């Protein structure tokens, strides 16, 4: 039992030392978990219990395999760290573009990574080729691997990369189109994830305090303009103004559909003219806007 305790202590010291070598966020999490397991085992009166020892050995082997994979050779590690750094720079600049109005043109290797991310979706519609195999391998090594090791939200980051690839790296705000299209659910998801992402970059010193303040101020401004509250990406309440614009769009859509139907089915002149339906439509809108707040205020889930 004394030997087991000595082994656990030695491992804790080793894990702690490795934590100070600035490992990737994923390996850092794994090392921290292993330290917690070994520390708890030291406090356990039944340290010789076989199941406890097996758990510690498993944790140790997972850390060892992970460390070995990252440090198999200098090329793998340097490329990984370069990709992580590049992705963090991209995310910092993209957040500043979307929330602080700083135009950002993506070029060079970062644009190649964005185009590589967008390519798998396009390739599903065409036969698989050797070039596709290379692209898949490149995507695994330079997008998935660094995103996993950096513990960044993969789906959220990939959405940003695909948007950049779609406009060939040219500057463009990805938040305003959601507002103009009244995509409130998508907007709530993006605002929630971008807030988390900003905090993560701050914690990793990948974003300055000044830059983060501007980004968070932009997120807050958009959120306050369109939402009463956002509890989570799927639980939020619209402001009355945004609800009105959504209702107006819905009613105009119905009227356009009805008008189109009568125009196609009736040969008479003037039927379905937009000016003919305007007085009635305005009456409906006026009545809708005059509803009590408690009646017109809705949870966005009901707008899906």
Nearest to residue 191, comparing CAs of 218, 165, 157? Answer: 218
User: Cα(255)–Cα(249) distance, rounded to whole angstroms?
Assistant: 10
Angle, CA of 40, 41 and 42, to the nearest 5°: 90
Q: Give the CA-trace dihedral at 291, 293, 298, 299, to 10 degrees.
A: 180
Q: Which tens digit of pLDDT belongs to each residue from 71-109? A: 988 999 999 999 999 999 999 999 999 999 999 999 999
247 or 129, greater pLDDT: 129
Is residue 120 within a helix (H) or strand (E), and if so which, with residue range? helix 108-123
Predicted confidence (pLDDT) at residue 243 exceeds the cutoff of 70: no
Q: What is the pLDDT of residue 131?
A: 60
- Tokens for 232, please give them: 């989570």
Bridge partners of 237, per DSSP, are: 229, 299
The CA distances from residue 166 to 163, 174, 179, 235, 296, in Å, are 5, 11, 19, 30, 38
Calpha distance 165→9 (Å, rounded): 50
CA atoms within 13 A on the CB side of 23: 23
Q: What is the pLDDT of residues 32-80, one digit of tens each?
A: 999 999 998 888 765 667 778 888 999 999 999 999 999 988 999 999 9
Around 283, how many Cα atoms within 13 Å sit in the side-chain half-sphere?
A: 4
Amino acid 19: pLDDT:
92
**CB-based contact 106:164 (threshold 8 Å):** yes
pLDDT of residue 128: 55
Give the chain's count of helices (H) and strands (E): 14, 2
- The percentage of the chain sitting over the pLDDT mark of 90, rounded to a whole number, equals 60
Average pLDDT over residues 155-160: 96
**φ, ψ for residue 237 (rounded to 5)?**
-130, 130
Q: Looking at the predicted structure, is the pLDDT value of residue 287 above 90?
A: no
| C-alpha separations of 131 from 118, 123, 136, 137 in Å | 15, 11, 9, 10
Using CA atoms, how far residue 205 sits from 70, 91, 92, in Å, is 22, 13, 11
Q: Which of 194, 297, 192 is nearest to 235 (CA)?
A: 192
Examine the pLDDT at 220 and tell me if it is beyond 80.
Answer: yes
pLDDT per residue as tens digits for the range 225-240: 999 999 887 788 998 7
- For tokens 């980004």, name the residue: 215
Domain range annotation of the chain: 2-72, 80-237, 239-303
* 218 contacts 212 by C-beta, under 8 angstroms: no
Q: What is the pTM of this model?
A: 0.73
Spatial distance between the Cα atoms of 216 and 204, rounded to a whole number of angstroms:
16
User: Tens digits of per-residue pLDDT, 45-55?
Assistant: 656 677 788 88
**Contact between 143 and 113 (Cβ < 8 Å):** yes
Structure-token match 């002149």, residue found: 269
pLDDT tens digits for 162-218? 999 999 999 999 999 999 999 999 999 999 999 999 999 999 999 999 999 999 999
Q: How far apart are CA 194 and CA 222, in angstroms?
A: 12
Whether 266 has a pLDDT exceeding 70, the answer reads no
Residue with tokens 């600049």: 93
Mean pLDDT of the chain: 81
């Amino acid at each position: 039992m004394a030997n087991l305790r000595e082994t656990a202590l030695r491992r804790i010291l080793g894990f702690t030392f490795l934590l100070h070598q600035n490992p990737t966020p994923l390996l850092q999490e794994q090392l921290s978990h292993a330290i917690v397991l070994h520390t708890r085992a030291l406090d356990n009166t039944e340290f010789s219990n076989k199941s406890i020892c097996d758990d510690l050995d498993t944790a140790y082997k997972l850390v060892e395999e992970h460390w070995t994979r990252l440090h198999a050779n200098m090329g793998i590690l340097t490329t990984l760290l370069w990709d992580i750094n590049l992705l963090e720079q991209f995310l910092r600049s993209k957040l500043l573009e979307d929330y602080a109005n700083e135009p950002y043109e993506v070029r060079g290797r970062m644009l190649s990574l964005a185009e590589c991310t967008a390519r798998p979706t396009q390739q599903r519609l065409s036969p698989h080729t050797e070039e596709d195999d290379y692209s898949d391998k490149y995507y695994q090594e330079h997008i998935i691997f660094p995103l996993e090791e950096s513990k960044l939200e993969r789906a959220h980051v990939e959405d940003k990369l695909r948007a950049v690839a779609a406009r060939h790296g040219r500057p463009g705000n990805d938040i305003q189109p959601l507002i103009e299209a009244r995509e409130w659910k998508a907007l709530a998801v993006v605002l929630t994830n971008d807030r988390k992402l900003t905090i993560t970059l701050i914690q990793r010193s990948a974003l300055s305090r000044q830059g983060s303040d501007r980004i968070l101020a932009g997120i807050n401004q958009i959120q306050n303009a369109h939402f009463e509250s956002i509890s989570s990406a799927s639980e939020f309440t619209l402001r009355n103004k945004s609800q009105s614009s959504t209702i107006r769009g819905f009613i105009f859509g119905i009227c356009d559909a009805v008008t189109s139907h009568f125009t196609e089915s009736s040969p008479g002149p003037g039927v379905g003219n937009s000016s003919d339906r305007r007085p009635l439509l305005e009456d409906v809108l006026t009545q809708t806007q005059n509803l009590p707040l408690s009646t017109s205020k809705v949870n966005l889930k009901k707008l899906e």
